[in-house]
Amino acid sequence: MCALFTGWPERAVEVLLHLEGEPSHAVRERYRGEREQLVRQPMIALLSDVADADPRYEDFSVWHYRTNSWWWQHQVGVIRLGRKVEIGLRFDLDGLRVQGAWWYPDPGQVDSFRAAVAAEGSGRELAAVVGELAAKGYEISGDVMKRAPRGYVCDPSRAVLLRHRSLIAARHLGSDGSLHTSGAVDEVLATAHGLDALMAWLVRHVNGSASGRAGR
């Protein structure tokens, strides 16, 4: 397939600067066309190239604008790997953030997650995966309880994971200006592939019906 993504143009940053703060309706309308062409369309091209390179990433969406000004200031795209298990991308004035996330869980998914964390084999596997990602510079976050839930006994590393009601590993890309070039496609692929073990674990243990879509 012919590559589509050539980078976000410098003008895309200027457009986002005009949309900072609480832009009026008139300001939003003034920059709507440029924002669509220079900010949103490159995200579509980027994810199309990523999907061409790796078919596992074919199920993607790129968000439109909403009433809240945040959605005008940040361009979001997601790649779905399973129910509530996604690779998310966000382009804004800080660059490009790529994350692997299990979030906004369906009923029952938190219990499934906790059971897998508490189990000896799967729990130690996740602790090792998260530890390795943190060592490589991925930011680990999520919706975290102040205390671990009652009724679970496991080692300290897994006790921390038991407090999670969502789990996110994220990395920022493009600080060297590569977001303005086609090289961003390779950066996104490398970051997504770095998340393979985490995403496969999440799909397998909180969304088992989709397990064939995440592992290598």
Dihedral sign from CA coordinates of 116, 169, 98, 70: positive
Q: What is the CATH number of the domain that holds 208?
A: 3.30.930
Instruction: Decide: helix, strand or coil at residue 62.
Output: strand
Q: Which residue has the tokens 């299990």?
A: 102
Looking at the predicted structure, is the pLDDT value of residue 27 above 80? yes
pLDDT in tens, 66-81: 889 999 999 999 999 9
Category of 137 on φ-ψ map: left (φ > 0), alpha (ψ -120 to 50) or beta: left
Query: Residue 81 falls within a domain, yes or no?
Result: yes
Instruction: Please indicate whether residue 126 or residue 207 has the higher confidence score (pLDDT).
Output: 126
Domain hosting 120: range is 10-213
Residue 96 included in any domain? yes
Tell me, yes or no, whether 2 lies in a domain: no
Dihedral sign, Cα of residue 152, residue 153, residue 154, residue 155: positive
The structural domain count of the chain equals 1
Number of H helices, E strands in the chain: 9, 6
Which residue, 104, 117, 206, is CA-closest to 156?
A: 117
pLDDT at 211 over 60: no
How large is the average pLDDT for residues 166-189? 92
Task: Quote the pTM value.
Answer: 0.89
Residue 1 lies in a domain: no
76 part of a folded domain: yes
In a domain, 4, yes or no: no
Percent of the chain with pLDDT over 90: 80
pLDDT digits over 117-176, tens only?
999 899 999 999 999 999 999 999 999 888 777 766 667 778 889 999 999 999 999 766
